[in-house]
Chains A and B, each alone.
Chain A
Amino acid sequence: DARVTQTPRHKVTEMGQEVTMRCQPILGHNTVFWYRQTMMQGLELLAYFRNRAPLDDSGMPKDRFSAEMPDATLATLKIQPSEPRDSAVYFCASGWTGPNTEAFFGQGTRLTVV
């Protein structure tokens, strides 16, 4: 059963600490999205990778957020230093390029920064 796997599922951290979220895309997928979801803003696109290359990270606060794909089986999203306003659910999604190809979402990481 192919699925996108995200770890951790839940994270509580103190303000100022570094947070790393991990995503394993579905094997064979060549696109990866990172989204943040809050009640106020809905689903916001933070970053987009195609064939491991970052094509768009315009939605990400550059001073504290960074996204990488060290290999085809791992995508990471880091926040350093974290702030209370970063509290949200972070979703990773993967898919193929091309028409009629939907994005498959992981279960998300629920981040709480206190």
Chain B
Amino acid sequence: GQNIDQPTEMTATEGAIVQINCTYQTSGFNGLFWYQQHAGEAPTFLSYNVLDGLEEKGRFSSFLSRSKGYSYLLLKELQMKDSASYLCAVRDDYKLSFGAGTTVTVRA
């Protein structure tokens, strides 16, 4: 099975940086995904890591350490539209399991 932990809530100021941590325990590992979900909408894909290190995509970056079972999503130059839930998901052979999500609130 899989156990995925991430903080419940985070608050930050517009223009700032926020880092959302995710720790996981899994019987198999075939990639870690981050999704964004706005209230009342479907999750949308943000990033994918399967090897250790940092993946950068514009204002969003994601880091993975497989030996530590740890990932983080870094959101830079926060904008009001970044207020959403951020979901960490781990894939074993095929199953994509999600953490409970971190609600990020961006304040002006």
Contacts and interface: CB of A to CB of B under 8 A. Distances in A.
Co-complex (A, B):
yes
Interface of A: 31, 33, 35, 42-43, 45, 48, 50, 55-56, 91, 93, 97, 99-100, 102-108
A43 B94 CA distance: 16
A31 B30 contact: no
B44 A105 contact: yes
Contacts of B48: 100, 102
B97 A45 contact: yes
Contact of A103 (B96, B99, B101): B96
Chain B: interface secondary structure?
loop
Chain A: interface secondary structure?
strand
Contacts of A100: 31, 48, 50
Contact of B33 (A45, A55, A91, A102): A102
Contacts of B60: none
A45 B96 contact: yes
A31 B43 contact: no
Contact of A107 (B30, B41, B45): B41
